[in-house]
Amino acid sequence: MVVLRADGVGLVLDTGGGTLPRVLHWGADPGPLDPSDTEALRLALRPQAIGFSIDEAVEVSVLPEQSAGWLGTPGLVGHRAGGTDFSTAFRTRSVAVDAAPDGNGGGTVTVRAGDPVAELDLELTLRLTPEGLVCMRGTLTNTGDTDFVLEALHLALPVPAEAVELLDFTGRHLRERGPQRTAFTHGLRVRENRTGRTGYDSVYLLAAGTAGFGHRTGEVYALHTGWSGNLRTFAERTFHSISLLGSGELLLSGEGILAPGASYTTPWRFASHGIGLDEVSSRFHRWMRARPHHPSRPRPVVVNTWEAVYFDHDLDRLRALADAAAGIGAERFVLDDGWFGGRRDDRRALGDWYVSEEVWPDGLGPLIDHVTRLGMEFGLWVEPEMVNEDSGLARAHPDWIMSTGGRLPGPARHQQVLDLTRPEAFDHILGRLDALLNEYPIAYLKWDHNRDLVEAGRPPTGRAGTHAQTLATYRLMDELRRRHPALEIEACSSGGGRVDLGVLERTDRVWASDCIDALERQEIQRWTNALIPLELMGSHVGSELCHTTDRRHPLDFRAGTALFGHFGVEWDLTAASPAERERLAEWVTLYKETRDLLHTGTTVHADHPDPALRLHGVVARDGSRALYALVAVASSEQYPPGPVRLPGLEPDARYRVRPQPPGDVPDGNADRWGRPLPWWTPEGVVLTGRALERVGVRAPVLFPERLVLLRADRLDHGED
C-alpha cells in the first residue's frame, strides 16, 4: 500500500497482489494512515465477488485489464499477427516510491510490470505534486520477436458515486471552450478528436462532480491530457458501481506498430480534485507556476499588427503604428503575417521564410531598429508546420507535403501540412527560423497552425503520421529554444485551436481565440483560465468595431476584459482619437501596476445567481489584496441588482473595498438611472473577508456589455 498526501489531497494505491496498482482513494486527504489503517482500508473497499465475469472480485487498475474481469474500456488495445496477445495480464515486478520526507508533500510511484506470454513490459509513473495534482503516464515496450500492433493505451482514475454530473467543453473557431454539462449515468461517454491538433472542440477538461457543482461549491474531479494531437477522453460508469475518468492518445491506423524492442510512451495525464472548480483550477495554476521554465519576468504589454494592417505592410505606416504603441506604454511590438516572400494574401508563399525583398528591400532591420529605439521588443509571426501549394518550397519539394501517397488532401485555407517527420524538411525549417533569429533581435515568435491534419500521411508510403508530426513539432520548438534560450513562443492555432499542457511545456502563452470581441472573450477567457493561469493567456484590446462579430463595445469594456490575461492591443492606434489613446494608456498603466497580482494570485469566481452578471477576480496568495471585475453580459431581470459576494479573501481580516480607476465608472449608471451607490466612493467600505464572501456589497446598475472593477485591500493591524 502506498499513501501520498499533498495540499489537502490523498492518493492511496494498492500495489499488492502482483497485479497493476489499483487506486483505493483519490480525493480529499484521508489524513495519516498507519499500516493497520491501510490494510483496513483495503479490506473495507474490496469489492464483493459476484461471479459474472470471473469468480474473484473484479479490481480495476489504472490500466484496466480484461484478465482481471473488467469488461469495460480496456487500458491496452492491441495484438500481434493473427489477433494473438489481444488481452494482457501484467504482473508487477517492482514498485519504487519516492515520497516527500515529511510524508505530506506528495511523491512519485514507479511500477514496472511485464506479461511474459504477450511479451510486453509496462512502466507506470504516478505522481502527486506538492500542489495536489495527480500526474500519470505509461511506457509500453515490445520484448517479443515480432511486431506488436498497439491501438490504444488508456490510463484511468476512479471517481466516487457522488460524482453524478459531467462537465466538458466544445467549441468552434471564434467561440472556443464552451462548457457543456451532462448527467454521469451508466454507460460510456467518449469524446474523440481527430483533427491532428488539440482542436476547437477539445474536451479540454473532463470534470465529474457532485450535483450542481459550481465555482466555489461541490466536490469536483477533473482530468486533462497534455497532448497536442489526436486524443480520446472518456467517462465510464458501470452497474457494478465502478466510475472512471480516462484518456489516451487516439492512434491512427498503423501509428502504434511496435517493432521488437520498440517502446511507446503516453502523454501525461493531469488530474485535479477540489471543492468547486476554482480549487481544481488553482492546483493546475500553482503547478504550472512552480515549473522552472515558467515565465518569470513581468508579461510585457503587446501590440500586434494583424487587425491594424493585415497584409498591407509598409515601413512608414508600421513606424507610425510603433510610435503610437510606444505612446500608450506598449513593451512588445509583433509583426504579423505578410512579411515574407510573395505573401500579399493568404493564398501563396507560406513556407518561403525569407524576408520579402518587394516589401522590405532593406530587410526588417529598419523597422526593428525603430521599434527597439522606442524601448519595445520585436516579435514575428510564423507558421512553420504549413505550406501553400503556391510557394517556392512546395514547388521545389512537393514530396515534403503530408499525403496518403496517392493524392494530396484537399487544401484548407489554401495550404497543406509540411511533413516535419521528414529529416530534410525538419532541418530546412529549423535552419530558416534559426537564421532569422540569428540575423535579427527577435524576442518572440507568434507560432501559428491554421488547418486540421486531413489525410496526414508520410510520403512516400502514405502511412498515418499525426503522432510523429506532433512529436516533430515539439522537437522543433525545443531545439529553437535550446539555441535561443531567451526566445518566447506563443502557441496560436487559428486562434485557440491548440491549448493544452503539452504545447505549453515549450511555449510561453497561448492565443485564446481569434475573436477579440470582449463579450465573447468573457466566456472564452473564463473557461481557458479553468486550466491555465492568466499570464499564459493572450488577451487583446481590439477596435470599437470587432471585425469577427461586427459588434461595437466601449473602450472600458474592451480593456477591462483584456486586463485579466496577458494584456495586449490589436487595433490601428494611428486611427484612434487622442482621447481613446489617452484612456487606453490609463488601462495599460493599471495592467502594469497589477500584473504582479494578476499573474501570481489565485483566480476566483462567484457563483452569482443572476445569469446577466459575472463576478471574477484574483486574490493575492497572501490575502493582502484582490482585484475583481463585475461584468454585465446581458440585461438583468433585477433592477437595481442585489448584492454580489466577493470570494477568496481571508475570513477574519478586514478589507477596504472601493472602485478601481479607470474601471470605476458604471457607464450610464449614476446620472441616468438614479443616485450613486452610497459606498461607491474612493473611501469605499470596510468589512471582513467573511462578510464580503457571505453577505457581499450592493452592485451598481450596469448596462449590458459594461464592467466595473473593485479592489480590496487588507487593513494592517490597528488601521482604521
Looking at the fold, whether 592 and 534 belong to one and the same domain comes out as: yes
Whether residue 665 has pLDDT greater than 90: no
Looking at the fold, whether 215 and 334 belong to one and the same domain comes out as: no
Question: Is 461 part of a structural domain of the chain?
Answer: no
Question: Is 634 part of a structural domain of the chain?
Answer: yes
307 phi and psi angles, rounded to 5 deg:
-75, -5
Whether residue 668 has pLDDT greater than 60: no
CA atoms of 117 and 81, how far apart (whole Å):
14
**Direct distance between the N- and C-terminal alpha carbons of the chain, in angstroms, rounded to an integer:** 54
Cell of 280: 481544481
Cell of 662: 479607470
Q: Look at residue 595 and give its three-state secondary structure.
A: helix
pLDDT in tens, 542-571: 999 999 999 999 999 999 999 999 999 999
Looking at the fold, whether 650 and 573 belong to one and the same domain comes out as: no
- Pairs from 66-71 (Cβ < 8 Å, separation ≥ 24): 68/19
Which of 265, 289, 313 is where one domain is finished? 289
Q: What is the mean pLDDT of residues 663-667?
A: 79
Q: Is 448 a catalytic residue?
A: yes
Which of 567, 600, 633 is where one domain is finished? 600
Question: Is 388 part of a structural domain of the chain?
Answer: no
Question: Is 109 part of a structural domain of the chain?
Answer: yes
pLDDT band, very low/low/confident/very high, at 614 (cuts 50, 70, 90) = very high
Whether residue 221 has pLDDT greater than 90: yes
Residue from 7, 337, 508, 514 carrying the catalytic annotation? 514
Residue from 448, 500, 508, 517 carrying the catalytic annotation? 448
Residue listed under C-alpha cell 454521469: 184
Question: Is 69 part of a structural domain of the chain?
Answer: yes
Sign of the alpha-carbon dihedral angle for 627, 628, 629, 630? negative
Whether residue 104 has pLDDT greater than 90: no
392-431 burial, b if ≥16 CB within 10 A, otherwise e? bbbeebeebbbbbeeeebeeeebbbbbbbbbeebbebbbe
pLDDT in tens, 406-456: 899 999 999 999 999 999 999 999 999 999 999 999 999 999 999 999 999
Q: What secondary structure letter does DSSP report for 15?
A: -
Task: Note down the domain range covering 503.
Answer: 302-383+421-451+474-600
Q: Cα 119 vs. chain centroid, distance in angstroms?
A: 37
Whether residue 201 has pLDDT greater than 90: yes
Cα–Cα distances in angstroms (integers) from residue 281 to residues 216, 243, 274, 513, 720, in the given order: 11, 22, 9, 20, 35
CA atoms of 701 and 442, how far apart (whole Å):
46
Residue 42 sits in a domain whose CATH number is 2.70.98.60
pLDDT at residue 405, as a whole number: 81
CA atoms of 676 and 640, how far apart (whole Å):
12
CA atoms of 291 and 616, how far apart (whole Å):
26
Amino acid at 429: I
CA atoms of 425 and 685, how far apart (whole Å):
63
Supply the mean pLDDT for the chain: 96
Give me the number of domains the chain comprises: 3
The region that residue 399 occupies, defined by phi over 0 for left and psi between -120 and 50 for alpha, beta otherwise, is alpha
Q: Which residues pair with 588 in a beta bridge?
A: none
375-391 burial, b if ≥16 CB within 10 A, otherwise e? ebbbbbbbbbbbbbbbb
Looking at the fold, whether 118 and 21 belong to one and the same domain comes out as: yes
Looking at the fold, whether 374 and 253 belong to one and the same domain comes out as: no
Question: Is 414 part of a structural domain of the chain?
Answer: no
Amino acid at 691: A
Looking at the fold, whether 610 and 671 belong to one and the same domain comes out as: yes
CA atoms of 374 and 372, how far apart (whole Å):
5
pLDDT at residue 609, as a whole number: 95
Q: Compute the CA torsion angle 378, 381, 385, 390 (nearest 10 deg).
A: -130
pLDDT at residue 676, as a whole number: 80
Q: What is the mean pLDDT of residues 361-381?
A: 98
pLDDT band, very low/low/confident/very high, at 100 (cuts 50, 70, 90) = confident
pLDDT band, very low/low/confident/very high, at 675 (cuts 50, 70, 90) = confident
Looking at the fold, whether 587 and 626 belong to one and the same domain comes out as: no
Q: Count other Cβ atoms within 10 Å, centred on residue 603.
A: 21
Share of the chain above pLDDT 70, in %: 98
Whether residue 102 has pLDDT greater than 90: no
Whether residue 673 has pLDDT greater than 70: no
Which of 224, 255, 289 is where one domain is finished? 289
Whether residue 669 has pLDDT greater than 50: no
Q: What is the mean pLDDT of residues 107-111?
A: 98
Question: Is 396 part of a structural domain of the chain?
Answer: no
Q: In terms of DSSP bridges, do strands 22-28 and 9-14 run parallel, antiparallel, or are they unpaired?
A: antiparallel
Looking at the fold, whether 689 and 550 belong to one and the same domain comes out as: no
Q: What is the mean pLDDT of residues 589-610?
A: 98
Amino acid at 33: L
Point out the least confidently predicted range of 29-38, 77-86, 480-489.
29-38
CA atoms of 479 and 484, how far apart (whole Å):
8
Question: Is 409 part of a structural domain of the chain?
Answer: no
Looking at the fold, whether 620 and 683 belong to one and the same domain comes out as: yes
For every residue of 253-297, DSSP letters joined together read TTTTEE-TT-EEEPPPEEEEEEEHHHHHHHHHHHHHHTSTTS--S
Looking at the fold, whether 336 and 217 belong to one and the same domain comes out as: no
Whether residue 720 has pLDDT greater than 80: no
Looking at the fold, whether 274 and 137 belong to one and the same domain comes out as: yes
Residue 361, preceding peptide bond in cis (omega within 30° of 0): no
Among 108, 103, 100, 106, CA closest to 126: 108
pLDDT at residue 674, as a whole number: 62
Q: What is the mean pLDDT of residues 184-203?
A: 97
**Radius of gyration (Cα) for the chain, nearest Å?**
27
pLDDT at residue 717, as a whole number: 53
Looking at the fold, whether 139 and 169 belong to one and the same domain comes out as: yes
Angle among Cα 217, 244, 246 to the nearest 5 degrees reads 100
pLDDT band, very low/low/confident/very high, at 706 (cuts 50, 70, 90) = very high
Residue 362 sits in a domain whose CATH number is 3.20.20.70
